[in-house]
Amino acid sequence: MLEEIKRLVLEQLGGLPGEFYGPIEAALSTTVLSGEEARSPQVLYQSQAALWVLRQHHAAHVMRYRQQIAQGFDDFRSLRIRHSGDLPLGLIDESQIDFHLAGQSLATTLEQRYNVPLEVMDARLAMLAAALGAEPALNPLGASRLATAFVETFRDEQIPEILRRLLFEHYEKALGRVLAELYEKANALLLNAGYGVPANARSAAQAPPHPPRPPAPAGFGDAVPGVADGQGFAGADHGVPGTGAGYRHGAGGYGSGGAGQGGYGQGGNVPGGHRQGGHAPGGLGHGNAHPGAGLGADMPTSAELGELRSLLHAWREGGLGNEAAAGARSTKAASGQRRELRLEELVSVASLLQSEPADVFARALAGSGTLAGVIREQLNDGSRRLGLDPERTRLSVEDEDAIDLVGLLFDSLFSSQQLQERARRLYARLVLPFVKVALTDQQLFVQPAHPARRLFDSITEAVAGNRGETPQERELLDRAASISQRVVAEYNEDLTIFETAHRELDALLHQQRRRIELQAERAAKATNGRERLNYAREQADAVLARRLAAPPLSPAIAEFLSTSWRHHLVQTWLRDGSDSERFAQAISLGDGLVEADRIAAAGRGNDLANHLLALEPMIGACLASSGLDQSAAEHGLAILVKGLVYPNTPRDLHPPPPRQAEEDAEERGLWLDATVDSLRLDPADLEHLGSLPAGAWLQVTDVRGESMAVKIAWISPLTARRLLVNRRGLRVLVASVEELAALAASGRLQMGAEPTAFEQAMRHVRQQLDLAAARR
């Protein structure tokens, strides 16, 4: 029975230390702008700075507050009252004294306000202690205990006077919204357990401690409609305590299983409010948490999201064997006796773990286990630390869906992107913030403009394929790492931090994108130059092969044609083109040299001398194109003449020079294996790939199985081959349409690629889920 009361108290009060930071921040800002306080602006700004620090310690405060509340029940159960000699002695500073005095004042106010229900509860707890054969102990729900828990929560913080006053004011208001109903439920539990009090006392306990007040508008930090501070709950349709049934009051639910007060976050950005009758059907989470969303502003569930969740359920069932599936069904049946974790409880657990080292998630992303399984293990561990026994609680189906999708998303990201070890640790830190977003906002997986999704894409753009080889790349890595740490430190269910972080990183990425464009342009120019050079060499080799094939040539002429003349042909083609007069003159020089060798073989010395004198200007130009000056050119001409003066020099047919090895052989070996040439090509693929313009995206997989998104950056006007570059503008492969079609036939090329990393990862998730559904 005490455990049930403890659970009830933790559900109602467990998140209070972090619920009113938003209203306090607004109050401080108003005070600074209006100048209402007769203090220097510096004091007010110090209070704002101290509030920022409290936000960073939010998870630790929630854990400490819950521990303090739970400690009260542990102390009562042990029935041992600590004496002054048990307490450690020490000096405390003036600010701590002021904090303790404020706590005492709060306890006095609460005791006066809830005097009647507290007296009834004290009497019933005394009966419980007597039944245990011990002296009465301190009421774990009493005003003193609640004040002490709040004071101890902020024991180590330096809090200015203005902020301290606002903290206690909002804490008192928050208690005022829940204590009347909480005391009523606790008294009912004690009464049902047989620890009753006289009828007149019960009647007094059911009366409101204060006259009813006009209903206040619902909002973050304000009263729920029909429930004022300290107001009773007359006319409430009560469910059975502890069963998760809602407690309805007027138009809005309040309590376990109903729509709750305020929310769990900052400044009114409530992540869907509390559950009302469990999760919204078909939703991944519990509503919409985009900036400006108010209490209960649920987004309609899209058909796409519903279909995704259906596939996810099929995937979970298909991933189990028959015996495991039977075990899962029996576990599910047993879990029906356990209550579902409320949204704010699950978010509190995730917030507690958010600031802790993410090594366990990094190891999961490295392949040591499924990320979704590790997330569940960590949430179970955090639940124990917050006093929520995993043996008595369970995740809802919607929470399971959110966790699985986040796990699959991050796993798919690492299988589809070139991410380094440093990036793995960066993403590991983001796992829990994205789990919280998925739990509270079902639009994350279907809304392209979602703030968290845009930040995810920006971070991936910054780190994917980034080896930190240049100062700019290192700056991007450092900025992405600092932004991930900032999200972990500041995300408190307010998506504004994602928007701010995205804008900051996107400003730096704008410069990076321009560098990527220039990098792709340089790659295209370099590839174009290489294509022209190779084509010129092919043309020169074709012309040379015909001259070497017949008639038989002397070694001197064959050597000159294969070296200096071939180089001259290549240079002339590159500079003037194949249709130019200079290129025609270069070809005629080769024909003239073949004719000179024929004359020399006939022993016609006078004709040979006249012929060489006529060719001398073209021979000089040919040697000059190889970089020889006038003196060197004359020396080269002398060597050529020397080889022709002997008519009996042996002459023969000469093979063309060997082709130079392709410079991109290693590159092509990574993408085009031996089996590609033997595949039967699909004419439709050939036609479609041939029609793709520059700028089109493809998804290719190398021979090792690593996938990459590539863009057609340039199409060769000579060979029609396509230059493919990655998302960083670096060359990946130059391939013909036929080679790309062969890759498509082998299943290693998909036409079209998602423009963002999130969409690409979700496509991998969808493929995995579709495959599981097809196996059923």
The pLDDT value given to residue 418: 67
Q: Which of 111-120, 293-302, 374-383, 667-676 shows the lowest mean pLDDT across its residues?
A: 293-302
Q: Is the pLDDT of residue 284 over 60?
A: no
Q: Cα separation of 394 and 110, whole Å? A: 34
The more confident residue out of 316 and 240 is 316
- Which residue type, as a one-letter code, is found at position 558? A
Question: pLDDT of 596-620, one tens digit each?
Answer: 988 888 888 888 888 888 888 888 8
- With b for 16 or more beta-carbon neighbours within 10 A and e for fewer, the 456-473 pattern comes to bbbbbbbbbbbeeeeeeb
User: What dotted CATH number matches 665-756?
Assistant: 2.30.30.140
Q: Give the three-class secondary structure for 340.
A: strand
In this structure, are strands 252-253 and 393-394 parallel, antiparallel, or unpaired? unpaired
Dihedral over Cα of 710, 716, 717, 719: its sign = negative
Q: And the tokens for 682?
A: 């699909």
3-state secondary structure of 526: helix
329 pLDDT above the threshold of 50: no
CA 434/CA 398 separation, integer angstroms: 15
Both tokens of residue 128?
């419980």
Q: Which of 261-275, 606-620, 631-645 has the highest mean pLDDT?
A: 606-620
| Whether the Cβ atoms of residue 261 and residue 177 lie closer than 8 Å to each other | yes
Three-state SS at 394: strand
Q: Which of these ranges, 205-214, 454-463, 650-659, 764-773, has the smallest mean pLDDT?
A: 205-214
Model confidence, pTM: 0.54
- Among the residue ranges 49-58, 278-287, 564-573, the one predicted with the least confidence is 278-287
Specify the pLDDT at position 405: 93
More confident call, 486 vs 273? 486
357 versus 277: the higher-pLDDT residue is: 357
Q: Where are the alpha helices (DSSP H) in 244-342?
A: 303-318, 322-335
Three-class secondary structure assignment of 228-268: CCCCCCCCCECCCCCCCCCCEECCEECCCCCCCCCCCCCCC
More confident residue, 505 or 677: 505
Segment 216-226, tens digit of pLDDT: 333 323 333 33
Q: Which residue has the higher pLDDT, 308 or 299?
A: 308
pLDDT at 11: 80
What's the average model confidence in pLDDT over 31-48? 60
Instruction: List the alpha helices (DSSP H) in 491-576.
Output: 496-549, 555-560, 566-576
More confident residue, 242 or 91: 91
User: Highest mean pLDDT range out of 315-324, 363-372, 413-422?
Assistant: 363-372
Residue 459 binned pLDDT confidence (cut-offs 50, 70, 90)? very high
- Crossing angle of helices 581-601 and 566-576, rounded to 10°: 160
**How far, in Å, CA of 552 to CA of 399, rounded?**
85
What CA–CA distance (Å, rounded) separates 537 from 530?
Answer: 10
pLDDT mean over 325-331: 43
Checking if the pLDDT of 228 tops 50, the result is no
Do 175 and 110 form a contact (C-beta atoms < 8 A)?
yes
Q: How far is CA 159 from the centre of its chain?
A: 35
Two tokens, residue 715 = 């199409």
Q: Give 166-208 as a DSSP string.
A: HHHHHHHHHHHHHHHHHHHHHHHHHHHTT----HHHHHHHHS-
Q: What is the largest CA-CA distance in the chain?
A: 144
Report how far residue 246's alpha carbon sits from residue 236's, in angstroms, rounded to the nearest whole number: 10
Contact 671, 703 (CB under 8 A): yes
SS3 729: coil
- Beta strands 339-340 and 393-394, pairing class: parallel
The total of other beta-carbon atoms located within 10 Å of residue 340's CB is 20
* pLDDT over 90 (residue 483): yes
First to last CA, the chain: 46
> Running DSSP on this structure, what letter comes out for residue 70?
H
Pinpoint the residues of the chain covered by CATH 2.30.30.140: 665-756
Mean pLDDT of 31-55: 65
Omega before 551 within 30 of 0, i.e. cis: yes
Checking if the pLDDT of 291 tops 50, the result is no
Query: Which amino acid is present at 361?
Result: F
User: Taking Cα atoms as reference points, which of 489, 245, 301, 284 lies closest to residue 406?
Assistant: 284
Residue 232's pLDDT band, with cuts at 50, 70 and 90, is very low
Q: Are 345 and 11 in contact (CB under 8 A)?
A: yes
Whole-number CA gyration radius for the chain? 40
Q: What type of residue sits at position 307?
A: E
| Per-residue confidence band for 92, with pLDDT thresholds at 50, 70 and 90 | low
Using DSSP, state whether 714 is helix, strand or coil. strand
Which range of 134-138, 438-442, 566-570, 629-633 scores highest in mean pLDDT? It is: 566-570
- Please tell me the least confidently modeled range out of 182-186, 238-242, 374-378, 434-438: 238-242
- The mean per-residue pLDDT over the stretch 182-196 comes to 82
For position 135, what pLDDT does the model report?
65
What secondary structure does DSSP assign to 551-572, as a single string?
S-B-HHHHHHIIIIIHHHHHHH
Ranking 9-18, 177-186, 553-562 by mean pLDDT, the lowest is 9-18
**Which pLDDT score is estimated for 663?**
66
Residue 89: band (very low, low, confident or very high) from pLDDT cuts 50, 70, 90: very low
Task: Answer for the pair 44, 481: CB distance below 8 angstroms, yes or no.
Answer: no
Mean pLDDT of 350-372: 86
Read off the DSSP letter of residue 79: T
Q: Which of 661, 317, 292 is nearest to 495 (CA)?
A: 292
Q: Which phi-psi region, left, alpha or beta, contains residue 173 (left: φ > 0; alpha: ψ -120 to 50)?
A: alpha
Q: Of 363, 369, 373, 379, which is closest to residue 316 (Cα–Cα)?
A: 373
pLDDT above 60 (res 332): no
pLDDT digits (tens, 9 = 90+) for 683-740: 888 899 999 999 888 888 888 888 788 899 999 998 899 999 988 888 999 999 998 9
pLDDT in tens, 505-547: 998 888 888 888 998 999 999 999 998 998 899 889 999 998 8
Return d(Cα 754, Cα 25) in angstroms, integer: 41
* Angle made by CA atoms 11, 56, 30, in degrees to the nearest 5: 90
- What pLDDT was estimated at residue 661? 62
* Unique residue bearing structure tokens 């029996």: 330
Closest CA to 400 of 454, 439, 370, 356: 439
The Cα angle at residue 473 between residues 467 and 478, in degrees rounded to 5: 95
Pick from 271, 270, 266, 297: which is nearest to 285 by CA? 271
In one letter, which amino acid is 88? Answer: P
Distance between CA atoms of residues 64 and 67, nearest Å: 5
Q: Does residue 429 register a pLDDT over 90?
A: yes
Q: CA-CA distances (angstroms) from residue 190 to 5, 75, 110, 175?
A: 9, 18, 21, 21
Alpha-carbon span 249 to 492, nearest angstrom: 29
Q: Are 269 and 496 in contact (CB under 8 A)?
A: yes
Tokens 């205990």 found at: 145
Output 274 or 446, whichever has higher pLDDT: 446
Which stretch, 128-137, 147-156, 263-272, 502-511, has highest mean pLDDT? 502-511
Nearest CA to 304 out of 295, 296, 292, 312 is that of 312
Rounded CA-CA distance 150/17 in Å is 8
Q: What is the token pair recorded at 346?
A: 């699950």
| One-character DSSP codes across 619-655 | HHHHHHTTT--HHHHHHHHHHHHHTTS-TT---B--P
